[in-house]
Amino acid sequence: MSCVKEKEQVTKFYQIIWNEHNKDAIPEVLHESFQFRGSLGSEKSGHAGFIEYLDMVHAALDDYQCEIKEMVSEHSKVFAKMQFSGIHKGEFMGVEATGRRLSWQGAALFHFKNGKVSSLWVVGDLDSLRSQLR
């Protein structure tokens, strides 16, 4: 798989699956044995596990958006510098809804297998996020 195709998969992951909350695209983008560690610390396996995390974030944050600021690819890996944001509408990180727009930075490391994302490890600026929830 070319670096261009891998970057296209990362773009689909964020634009279609996350920003549009379109779970139908998951089999096209994520490998069936997908391993995920989210910026909030959750670890999930497979499509069903990832969908739990996706739905949890969307239940807590309205208008949830992931903006790719920068991408670098090498071999079967892509690194993305990210901006995450949403309106706090439900319980999130132990805090009841505040109605405030939250925004934080993060970084994601994608690994690929047979043209699909096989694993993803995301780290986020949780100190900034916690300070916004106070």
pLDDT tens, residue by residue, 67-95: 999 999 998 999 999 999 999 999 999 99
Distance separating alpha carbons of residues 57 and 77, to the nearest angstrom: 25
- Average pLDDT (48-55) is 97
**CATH code of the domain in which 119 resides:** 3.10.450.50
Distance separating alpha carbons of residues 27 and 37, to the nearest angstrom: 18
Q: State the pLDDT at residue 121.
A: 98
Q: Specify the higher pLDDT residue, 83 or 2.
A: 83
Which structural domain range is residue 107 located in? 3-133
Instruction: Give how far Cα 131 sits from Cα of 40, 81, 93, 103, 122, Å.
Output: 15, 21, 12, 11, 20
Q: Could you read off the pLDDT of 6-49 as tens digits, one per residue?
A: 999 999 999 999 999 999 999 999 999 999 999 988 999 999 99
Q: DSSP 3-state assignment of 92?
A: strand
User: Number of folded domains in the chain?
Assistant: 1
Q: How crowded is residue 134: how many other Cβ atoms within 10 Å of its Cβ?
A: 6
